[in-house]
Amino acid sequence: MRYSKSFIKTSHQAPKDAETASHRLLARGGFIYPLGAGFYSLLPMGFRVYQKIYDIITEELNRIGVEDMIMPVVHPARVWKETKRFFEVGPELWKIKNRFKEDFVLAMTHEEVITDAAKPIISSYKDLPKLVGHIQTKVRDEARARGGLLRTKEFTMQDAYSFDRDEEALDKSYQKFIKAYNNIFERVGIETIMIESDVGAMGGLGANEFMMIAKNGEDKIVVCKKCWHAVNADVLGISRESNAIRKGTKCPKCRSTNLTFKRGIEVGNIFKLGTKYSIPQKLFYTDERNKEHPVIMGSYGIGLERLLASVVEASHDKDGIIWPTSIAPYRVYLLGIDKKSAADKTYQQLTKAGVEVFYDDRDATAGEKFADADLLGIPYRATVSAKTKGKIELKKRGSKQVKLVTTSELARRIK
Ligand SMILES: [Zn+2]
């Protein structure tokens, strides 16, 4: 892609309300555009990162047997009334009416919708287990949308669902997802810990969250220094505002009182739903003796935009983003100094070799081009100038080392 043709405008100025590094850098780099508080467009540069995250998630879930589908964003309220969540969930559940004054709900999650869809499919023990999921828009009327992409009112979520005959089988499905989630987070380049969490509005038998440790994270985690078991502070009855662990609070696993606080960003959560949805929505199966039982369910979710922003929180410096290669929008940022024709030629050669290249062909100073290369965080910077005598100056983002290479070496090195 040529910079001059791209739908991008970078800026030295961060939005006034930007409190987090990811908000500042994604806005300055032209990855996102705020339509209003909590509503963002992903501009082309941001959408490329999003698509790479999308592919990694899909690949890892397909590997454990999750089959892809898609469910609607607008839900007739019937299913939400069956589980009573229509009445029980707070104002974050966005309710609308149609022209006939009938109730509808904007998808906050899809448990009710998937359970409804499973009814004609699952009726016997022979129909179990099943794993299914989708990546779809979610809408939540958050009281305080903040932090750029970290907390928005509309976002995309991968959510998957498991259907099993008993709790033992659910445990097996649950373990598969834990493995897949760990792979996903590792591949996008962040370190997470899995912690015990509150079941919250989802209900059920138990829940875990995947937390990325971050000093400005909004979640509080209590870690036991003896056995390293970690729990969400909510589980121990510690409020979000509190800065101290009450005297006498014990680790729920080993009963040690040697506990410490950490802050984190929640990047994924998984729930053992049990029969919370199957009973009210009447999703039953018959066993070998023709006896009827409710299906045991699990649900699993990762917010894509939040994950994207979390990677930026974890990987940046004062000049800009440092994308992990696996999800970088492009592989190389090419720029020419006083040698436009040579840079043009290199661009064509790299494109032909199948390298994802963002070519800064603007009529701008070297300083401006270098600044944008750092801000956008593309893993490699390639500079063509009269000084380099037919060779290309290659530099890795975040490193000071510069190497002189030929075009074919370049294509090989950065692939
Ligand atoms: Zn412990």
Report CA(230)–ligand 1 centroid distance (Å): 8
Q: What interhelical angle do 167-188 and 44-63 show, nearest 10?
A: 140
Report CA(186)–ligand 1 centroid distance (Å): 25
Q: Are 216 and 202 in contact (CB under 8 A)?
A: no
Encoding tokens for residue 44?
A: 């082309």
Of 4, 82, 2, residue with least CA distance to 279: 82
Q: Are 153 and 38 in contact (CB under 8 A)?
A: yes
In this predicted structure, the answer to whether residue 117 has a pLDDT above a threshold of 70 is yes
Distance, in Å, from the CA atom of 199 to the CA atom of 286, rounded to the nearest integer, reads: 28
Element holding 123 (H helix, E strand) = none
The mean per-residue pLDDT over the stretch 110-123 comes to 98
Amino acid, res. 318: K
User: How would you class 203 by CB atoms within 10 Å of its CB: exposed for 0-12, middle for 13-18, buried for 19 or more?
Assistant: middle
Q: What residues are paired with 160 via a beta bridge? A: 133, 300
In this predicted structure, the answer to whether residue 244 has a pLDDT above a threshold of 90 is no
Is the pTM for the entire model greater than 0.85?
yes
- Domains annotated for the chain, with CATH where assigned, are 12-317 (3.30.930.10), 330-414 (3.40.50.800)
Of 114, 53, 26, residue with least CA distance to 268: 53
DSSP state of 153: S
- Tokens 């490699």 — which residue? 380
Distance, in Å, from the CA atom of 312 to the CA atom of 26, rounded to the nearest integer, reads: 8
Of 412, 407, 377, 373, residue with least CA distance to 393: 407
In this predicted structure, the answer to whether residue 337 has a pLDDT above a threshold of 80 is yes
Q: Are 278 and 284 in contact (CB under 8 A)?
A: yes
Q: Please tell me the least confidently modeled range out of 42-51, 240-249, 266-275, 311-320.
A: 240-249
Which band of pLDDT confidence, cut at 50, 70 and 90, is reported for residue 232?
Answer: confident
Task: Using DSSP, state whether 334 is helix, strand or coil.
Answer: strand
Report CA(252)–ligand 1 centroid distance (Å): 7
Report CA(205)–ligand 1 centroid distance (Å): 21
Q: Are 129 and 174 in contact (CB under 8 A)?
A: no
In this predicted structure, the answer to whether residue 203 has a pLDDT above a threshold of 80 is no
| Position with higher pLDDT, 96 vs 203 | 96
The mean per-residue pLDDT over the stretch 384-398 comes to 90
Q: Are 225 and 258 in contact (CB under 8 A)?
A: yes
Spatial neighbors of 101 by CB under 8 A, at least 6 apart, are none
Report CA(348)–ligand 1 centroid distance (Å): 58
Neighbours of ion ligand 1 (CB under 5 A): 224, 226-227, 229, 251, 253-254, 256
Tens of pLDDT, residue by residue over 123-182, are: 999 999 999 999 999 999 999 888 899 999 999 999 999 999 999 999 999 999 999 999
